[in-house]
């Protein structure tokens, strides 16, 4: 695979990470996607290929929990999404998960999602 664009680079890193990171029914894989405007997080059981829980800054329920300065494109919005995904997983009886940064650097909004989920009670 030749790296011609930033997306190609991220896909290559993502494939390298996915060789080692696997989610299960008792410990799902929490994967993050970061666009320019929004954050999307989902917990996936790789054994069955099902999404256990999901949260994004597009959802009205998540938007209602955001403060006035929080948006999908800043740290405050990322922290809100991290708290929401942790709450949804804990509701389903799952306290442990595996964090998948999805080829993005563990920095900024991706790091904010992970740290907010940890603060809300999810264990990575």
Q: Where are the alpha helices (DSSP H) in the chain?
A: 6-18, 60-65, 75-91, 109-119
What the chain holds in terms of domains, given with CATH numbers, is 6-119 (3.30.420.100)
The pLDDT tens digits for 12-38 are: 999 999 999 999 999 999 999 999 999
What does the alpha-carbon distance between residue 105 and residue 22 come to, in Å, rounded to a whole number? 19
How confident is the prediction for the chain on average, in pLDDT? Answer: 95
The pLDDT tens digits for 55-90 are: 999 999 999 999 888 999 999 999 999 999 999 999
What does the alpha-carbon distance between residue 20 and residue 75 come to, in Å, rounded to a whole number? 28
pTM of the predicted protein model = 0.91
Q: Could you tell me the two tokens for 93?
A: 């009886």
The pLDDT tens digits for 35-52 are: 999 999 999 999 999 999
What does the alpha-carbon distance between residue 122 and residue 84 come to, in Å, rounded to a whole number? 11
């Amino acid at each position: 695979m030749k790296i011609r664009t930033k997306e190609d680079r991220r896909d290559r890193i993502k494939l390298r990470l996915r060789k080692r990171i696997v989610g299960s029914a008792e410990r799902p894989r929490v994967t993050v996607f970061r666009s320019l405007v929004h954050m999307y997080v989902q917990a996936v059981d790789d054994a069955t290929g099902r999404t256990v829980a999901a949260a994004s800054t597009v959802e009205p329920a998540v938007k209602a929990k955001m403060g006035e300065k929080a948006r999908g494109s800043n740290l405050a919005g990322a922290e809100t999404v991290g708290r929401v995904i942790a709450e949804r997983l804990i509701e389903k009886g799952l306290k442990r998960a595996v964090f998948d940064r999805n080829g993005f650097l563990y920095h900024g909004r991706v790091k904010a999602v992970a740290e907010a989920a940890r603060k809300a009670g999810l264990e990575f």
